[in-house]
Structure 1
């Protein structure tokens, strides 16, 4: 089976710039994960209010909306690799805020770094998509999806995992020093990637005509479907993901932490493994299969619905959540591939930025409604109502933008 992992290995062997980029973003993601652990752990140590912790979650997501607008604009005038190098250097400078916060017990400074990291993530996403489109052959695009999966895994498994293990062993200042080294090394590796990067596809003559038109009305039904599917996934997935700690609390009220933390790890592991199981040669066929999308999303929701039946059993809960996120992130990989596949080079940065903004706002909206229902009724009531509602909406979306429509 020609999995995404094998496709990535072949692309890494063929492209030196991709090897440098991969190492750079593994280090950068490790640093981002460490920053997040420092911020959350420090706030918990200071016994920050629940409102403050909720604000941290929102600030780690919403500013990326603005960042994606900036990234989309920069991609029209600046090389995507230069944008990525810029975001790494700005990320390094942003570490002054957690340093300030830790030394002077300043909570707003800790909140500021979360906002800046979200802003920089939004800036880098369109540039990264454009870079993959320019630097990879048409049949190598599945490798880009695998690379994005590994970058995400580095953030969660390496950055967050290492941060949790080291927080009680090392001081926050030492962790910040490791964090700074990761950003600096990432910038150096991106410079090395820029020195060997070769553009494989570039059609500047098409840009002037495309940019003069309104974007959305000019898209084909298949392109509109590609843009809308990842926000649809955010609508289905964000209520369940936001509620996971609260669900663990209801399943095992006597000791929720002993269930919640392993479930969060199982969730991350499933998110990593799901995309890598797909057959790279069949990505376009999978992406056009409405039934597969609904089965995967239904399996994701069904896994969370089964969590109460685990009766607090750790191993049963781990299998359920791992399987649920294998299914959901297969859908995520297909949606990411769809944007790369169905948009030409001069539109892909704009399309990916639009997709990113839609995901952020959809996740924020559905998470907000879910929190209100959970606070007033129960976590499981919120999960059942919002998940079924969003799954029905995705079904309608898939029917309206039928996969049988071609460019």
Structure 2
């Protein structure tokens, strides 16, 4: 909960800030706040204060919510329409740096060097990020002159003003969160039930396999067909079905760690195909005047879906066990997502089908 709910408030702030200031300034502001937030883990380590460590989760979620609308607006401004598929690759690169330089390198260094030295390296990464963003400002000087808000006058709520296909686009990432968040939250508990004697030794490789699968998923897509894939319910449900199937087979990997790693890798590779299509849909289906608001709305719905379904799943796991909760919740959430996709089904534009035939 601490790593998700503050992102709801953060996305509201991020959306409002995008109307008043440059998205580059918002990202620099987020990096500076992230640097200052390192005071909490330092205090927590020096005084053995667990709440101070948990505050870091809240701040990370808050800053992620603030940054997401700004980053989406930056992609929309910096890329032409035919270059928007590159935004999914950019998201993959961003996630890769987080996984390989953050989680991966952090796990390797933890225990080898002093924790305060590790936090000092983390502080340097925030400083380097802020400097790189400032250096990139020159490339966006022309784009910064473009308006971020819609035409003046009284504006009705975005949800009422947009088309059914745009509503479907906003719902895609929350749908993924409803299916994926319970399984991701249960992964350490599943590792404990599979190998009670060495759950930590299995959980960390499973978490890393999950991250690598998330990284590789978007690489499986043909950039020329992203718009067609995004409106194809069969592809979306097939990916979510693969995700669930791999988690259902996880108990069979007991005693065979490599099978479990392959299953988790495959599951999250499939789920991040849906994530890439949702990201592309928001960039491709909304004009610059609406993209920050649409991305913030999708982020908030994603946070709420993840919170509700994870909360229910955790309560079930507490009373009935992790695997029983998994077997009950995942088909239930997939059924809800299937109904929503069917009710909001749409077709690819004719120009997309024409280009594919050519």
TM-score in same-fold range (> 0.5) = yes
Offset at residue 202 of structure 1 (A) = 7.5
Deviations 1:79-103 (A, max 9, x none): 1111111111111111122222222
CA distance in 2, matches of 1:214, 1:310: 49
Identify the residue that residue 225 of structure 1 maps to in structure 2: 168
Offset at residue 311 of structure 1 (A) = 3.2
Offset at residue 188 of structure 1 (A) = 0.8
Mark the CA change 1:77 to 1:166 in structure 2 (over 3 Å): closer, same or farther. Answer: same
Identify the residue that residue 122 of structure 2 maps to in structure 1: 179
CA distance in 1, matches of 2:279, 2:68: 11
Which of 36, 48, 61 matches 2:4? 61
Offset at residue 335 of structure 1 (A) = 0.7
Identify the residue that residue 203 of structure 2 maps to in structure 1: 260
Equivalent residues in 2 for 1:202-351, closer than 5 Å: 204=147, 207-209=150-152, 212-351=155-294
Identify the residue that residue 196 of structure 1 maps to in structure 2: 139
What is the aligned-residue RMSD (CA, Å)?
Answer: 1.9
SS of the equivalent of 1:204 reads coil
Mark the CA change 1:359 to 1:127 in structure 2 (over 3 Å): closer, same or farther. Answer: same
State the TM-score, normalized to the length of structure 1: 0.82
2:304 is aligned with 1:361: yes
SS of the equivalent of 2:157 reads coil
The answer for unaligned runs of 5 or more in structure 1 is 1-57
| 8 Å CA contact 2:149, 2:290 repeated in 1 | no
The answer for unaligned runs of 5 or more in structure 2 is 351-358
| 8 Å CA contact 1:68, 1:125 repeated in 2 | yes
Identify the residue that residue 344 of structure 2 maps to in structure 1: 401
Offset at residue 249 of structure 1 (A) = 1.9
Offset at residue 115 of structure 1 (A) = 1.4
State the TM-score, normalized to the length of structure 2: 0.93
2:81 is aligned with 1:81: no
Mark the CA change 1:311 to 1:164 in structure 2 (over 3 Å): closer, same or farther. Answer: closer
Mean alpha-carbon deviation: is it higher for 310-319 or for 80-89? 310-319
CA distance in 2, matches of 1:377, 1:388: 17
Identify the residue that residue 91 of structure 1 maps to in structure 2: 34
Offset at residue 254 of structure 1 (A) = 3.0
Offset at residue 198 of structure 1 (A) = 4.7
CA distance in 2, matches of 1:259, 1:60: 23
Which of 323, 337, 340 matches 1:380? 323
